Amino acid sequence: MPMTITQAPWLIIGQELTQALSRIDANSFDGLAQIFKNSERRWFFAGQGRSGLSAQMAAMRFMHTGRKVHFVGEASAPSIRRNDGLLILSASGQTPTNLRFARTAKLEGATVVALTGQMGSPLAEIADFALHVPADATAQFGGSLFEQCSLIMLDSLIFRLTAGIPDVHKAMQYRHTNLQ
């Protein structure tokens, strides 16, 4: 979508987000929510580049809900084991580092979940569950639309998982960092 001088860039991005998010399969999202229903499972989040930054932001929100989460590569992240989960964000589904993480997690007996723009990718094939994030029609540079949509999908997952919890914002605020 080429940008015209008469359009505000934030409105163009908003339109792209709306168009991409309207293509998310609701049944697949429900499947994703089902996988994350167990609040006792440890989750590891991963992604490279800006996808990794989106994964870090999502991991933070999951921590705010009281879940046990780690970002792969952080010094305090433990080893992944059986019954843990690994969530990987990858637009291409071909990033070698992510594929190595996914294979290691599978060997250890962990569940692998992918948010990817390419459902036929090696990552989608390895994953136990993959959510297609259709962010291919964009005027933005690189994977910006994928990263934005992935973060919105994971924030939507938090919204779904915390629905009906009394005073959930108060509980999340309590877990929010106070060393700022």
Maximum alpha-carbon separation in the chain: 54
Find the radius of gyration of the CA atoms of the chain: 17
DSSP single-letter state for residue 86: E
Q: Which CATH architecture has domain 40-162?
A: 3-Layer(aba) Sandwich (3.40)
What's the pLDDT score for residue 4?
55
Mean local confidence (pLDDT), 21-49 = 97
Of 150, 32, 148, 134, the residue nearest 85 (C-alpha): 32
Q: Is the pLDDT assigned to residue 38 strictly greater than 60?
A: yes
Token readout for 117 is: 């723009």
Mean local confidence (pLDDT), 107-121 = 98
What average pLDDT is seen over the chain?
95
Report the C-alpha gap between 112 and 127 in whole angstroms: 5
What's the pLDDT score for residue 7?
83
Sequence letter at residue 142: G
In the chain, the N- to C-terminal Cα span, in Å, equals: 40
Read off the pLDDT of residues 132-169 as tens digits, 9 standing for 90 and up.
Answer: 999 988 999 999 999 999 999 999 999 999 999 899 99
Place of tokens 């163009």: 12
**Total Cβ atoms within 10 A of residue 115:** 30
What's the pLDDT score for residue 180?
85
Of 56, 34, 38, the residue nearest 47 (C-alpha): 56
Query: Is this model's pTM higher than 0.75 or not?
Result: yes
Report the C-alpha gap between 180 and 61 in whole angstroms: 17
Task: Return all residues near 27 (Cβ < 8 A) that are at least 6 apart.
Answer: none
Helix axes 144-162, 9-21, angle to 10 degrees: 60
Give start and end residues of each alpha helix (H) in the chain.
9-21, 26-35, 49-64, 96-108, 122-126, 144-162, 168-175
Report the C-alpha gap between 16 and 161 in whole angstroms: 26
